[in-house]
Amino acid sequence: MSDFETKVSFELPKGYVDNNGKVHKLGVMRLATAADEIMPLNDPRVKINPAYLSILILERVILKLGELPNVDAKIIEHLYTSDMAYLQDMYQRINAIEVPEIDVICPKCSNRFKVPVPFFEQA
């Protein structure tokens, strides 16, 4: 992902099978906003079952899946568990805080490369 991509394409490991038996594997997910994580918290389904939160978040950020006209909670509910795990992992990766990097030069060979700058906790 480049510095400011807001949409990321994906291919599900198994794919969603619609009522006609067609498999939908290719899709697009966008970066999440604060509202994507806050708004579903008020949904009664989340209050009954907190695990439902991930379904509602994915419903909001998945823009496209195959040739489906839209992606809603019912579609997410019917994904195979491997596809659900894939999407949850992808969501975490594309929305993670990016670790800053610095350019360094090796004092022995003069090669340039990037090194992540770790976050330090202050005591």
What does the alpha-carbon distance between residue 102 and residue 87 come to, in Å, rounded to a whole number? 30
When divided into structural domains, the chain yields a total of 1
20 within some domain: yes
1 within some domain: no
- Residues with Cβ within 8 Å of residue 24, at least 6 apart in sequence: 12, 15, 16, 17, 18, 65, 66, 67, 68
88 within some domain: yes
Residue 115 per-residue DSSP state = E
Structure tokens that stand for 70 in this block: 């839209």
Cβ neighbours of 18 (radius 10 Å): 15
Do 13 and 83 contact (CB within 8 A), yes or no?
yes
What does the alpha-carbon distance between residue 90 and residue 3 come to, in Å, rounded to a whole number? 17
What does the alpha-carbon distance between residue 100 and residue 39 come to, in Å, rounded to a whole number? 30
Low-confidence ranges of the chain (pLDDT < 50): 1-2, 120-123
Q: What domain range is 18 assigned to?
A: 7-98
19 within some domain: yes
